[in-house]
Chains A and B, each alone.
Chain A
């Protein structure tokens, strides 16, 4: 394993993008920072700007309004980066499938910008914090 890959795995900085989520997944994501789960143990921390991020944590269906912004945020993120689809909506639009305001699941929106994007899925409504940690670990172990 090269030093680039080792350090990337040990220090994932996360930017949180809400593309029309009901706030349930967002609350569970913030849970990850609390003393019970404390993802800073693994070097994961939330950052304020996509330029600093290594992972985009996307929640929500990807509404027509949010789709363009999500693509812009993805372009602004410095590569290499991983996209995590958090929750049923982000993974496959969930109960909003076929609704008038939906621009497609998140992976479709991202692949319009970059067909080779690395995308990981954590289903659940909302996914438990344990499931999110497990998803991140699995995604990092296949890198």
Chain B
């Protein structure tokens, strides 16, 4: 049992210009169950493989226990791993598979047998011990993979999306079982997944990753309540984009402009494409996802993204967060207050549409009074931008600062949200206005986390329908 310390880990795959992991630092306590959550390509698997020793980092270091293992070959690290494809050796019986690690470590035969029996029993494989993997079903092979890993009693247990090849029902079933097994064992575990549900239900802490960085780190509740960087189509008003819309479709994403963020939306790499599709019903991936260069914060550079579906507002990109004074939740291992970090996102529901100053937007998340983070934000600049972008957004500008502040402090402003709803719809109707989040606000203002889903549920649809292209309801359900 050991803790794992990762410092400034950098890796770029040869032939790529972008870093697979960009200066990642993470501390995992002894016995902790850490989940790395993120869309594909975010670097979570690379990170896991570097911990396992299957890849070597370009820079940075990894320590397990107090031993530096950065460049140690995999077979000397004393770890166990469950692979996504199970990697159960087809030419060996189940028993030999489970015993593999122990055999490699040249353990005494009797002990090996004892442990194999124990693991097999734990995973209900007793009957299959002498069969070959080809005679087992996928789920059973997965159990063999897990048994093989836990029998080792290794310092750290690594899991690379172990449940993703199972069918949905098995997945849920096994998730619970897995959690129990790991809890009983108490091994330090690092678990990679793209499934939010898994992440939030299994982990002691969740590290949300995107584009090679950890954008948020905290316990599941925090991450759920106050996501910094997640695509939160659910929680945000959806913006409907007409097919004849010229590029810079995202000009509708007024929430962003309210924050004075200009680059956040356009920068599509801030947005996992698969999430867009699932949330927004875009028929084809029209979104130009090739724009990966960060936009300058000071100007709205528009974008070339095009979409003929609904797009939900996304959180601002990291640089932008910085600009508005939030600290990107990267790698800070503060367990308890990681939530503070990324809450900036305040995805402001397009309350900007509302001339309602102080329309708090969506703050429910961050309802910590006293969080005056936003002050730092250079409101003015963004405001300017707003012009070209959002015609409909008339009123906003001034309300911005308030809004921000409103979030943290002045609940007073927050109250105004109540009014928001009424105003919201009318002005916006012609444009794809993010449905007056105000709507959800009232309900959610009080509630910290749950709100996401609800917020959008109601309004957006209406708007969308009005707008004409609403294909379906907003899929912005949390998760």
Q: Do A and B bind each other?
A: no
Which residues of B are at the interface with A, using a C-beta cutoff of 8 A?
none
